[in-house]
Amino acid sequence: MRERRDPDRLAQAGQLAMLLEVSASPKPGNVDRCHDYPDTRYEDFLASSVAVYPVLMRAASSRARIGRLIFEAVSASKTWHKGGNTHFGAFTLLIPLIIGGGEQKAAHDAVKSTGWEDAIEFYRAAQIAGVRVKPVEDLDLTDPESFDRIKRERLSLYEIFSISASYDLISNEWVNGFPRSFRYAEILRDDVRRLGLNDGIVMTFLRILSESPDTFVAMKFGADVAREVSERARVLTRDFDLDKIKSFDEELIERRINPGSSADIIIASLFIALVRGWI
């Protein structure tokens, strides 16, 4: 059995992962230190990353349920900026990873142990975060009837994520034990050693984007656009050319295409790599 990691260090790693992700540039389509979106600025992400530290500490000390911690994280984030949804997906990944001490099995065990109360808190968090979601007939996040059904059928958050795992990257990570987050942490380690910290993060982000169509892009622009973005990212992973990456970034910003789910995965991978001392 591994020794339990220091809670303060776990929370710091989560915070630093969010700061490094938003500061890495250019990550095509994402807000970063070089450009904003009209409704969300770089500084909003910085404020969110700082505001959430006490919640990450509670997660590291295992003092609350996952759903409650996600709700508290979103609430803390919203008190310090008006830039909309900055880190909802990242919180959903980071909190169980922190509860698990950065260990894959422990994090998976944590999400499998969620109950219906976690689901209610998660839905509440999504509403105050203003999360854009794919409309679905079954347990839609925006449908008030979903709350009643969750309570009535005692549906756990893990069970609900199992429903959306086929089309949602974050749900898929939860249900399958965070495979991308951990695999890309190792890839990130190697990319950073080869390219340096900023460019290594950018390259790993492109690899994540190239592997799976981004959930956020697919939801907002459709599956064809999401596949197009992934294919073009795949081409850029073959040879790190900063000018070509900047050009792709500028195009996606112009088209308002923001691969937010891929950014959430890179945050999780950054956290894992930081906890292990790889970067």
Quote the pLDDT of residue 87: 97
pLDDT tens for each residue of 112-150: 999 999 999 999 999 998 886 665 566 767 677 888 899
What mean pLDDT value characterizes the chain? 94
Enter the tokens of residue 46. 């910085």
What is the crossing angle of helices 88-99 and 7-23, to 10°?
Answer: 150
The three-state secondary structure class of 20 is helix
Quote the pLDDT of residue 134: 61
Strand partners, 196: none
Enter the tokens of residue 28. 């095509």
Instruction: Fill in the amino acid letter for 126.
Output: A
> Which residue is associated with the tokens 């990873």?
97
Quote the pLDDT of residue 33: 95
Instruction: Report the alpha-carbon distance of residue 131 to residue 122 in Å, rounded.
Output: 11
Instruction: Work out the average pLDDT over 72-82.
Output: 95
Rounded to a whole number of angstroms, the CA Rg of the chain reads 18
Instruction: Report the alpha-carbon distance of residue 90 to residue 76 in Å, rounded.
Output: 14
Q: Comparing 175 with 148, which gets the higher pLDDT?
A: 175
Quote the pLDDT of residue 145: 83
Q: Which of 214, 253, 218, 260 is nearest to 233 (CA)?
A: 214
Quote the pLDDT of residue 143: 75
Q: Residue 199 above 80 pLDDT?
A: yes
- pTM here is 0.95
Instruction: Work out the average pLDDT over 71-82.
Output: 95
Alpha helix segments (H runs only) across 53-166? 53-60, 66-78, 88-99, 104-112, 116-129, 145-153, 157-164
Quote the pLDDT of residue 1: 38
Structural domains in the chain, CATH included, are 7-178 (1.10.4200.10), 181-274 (1.10.4200.10)
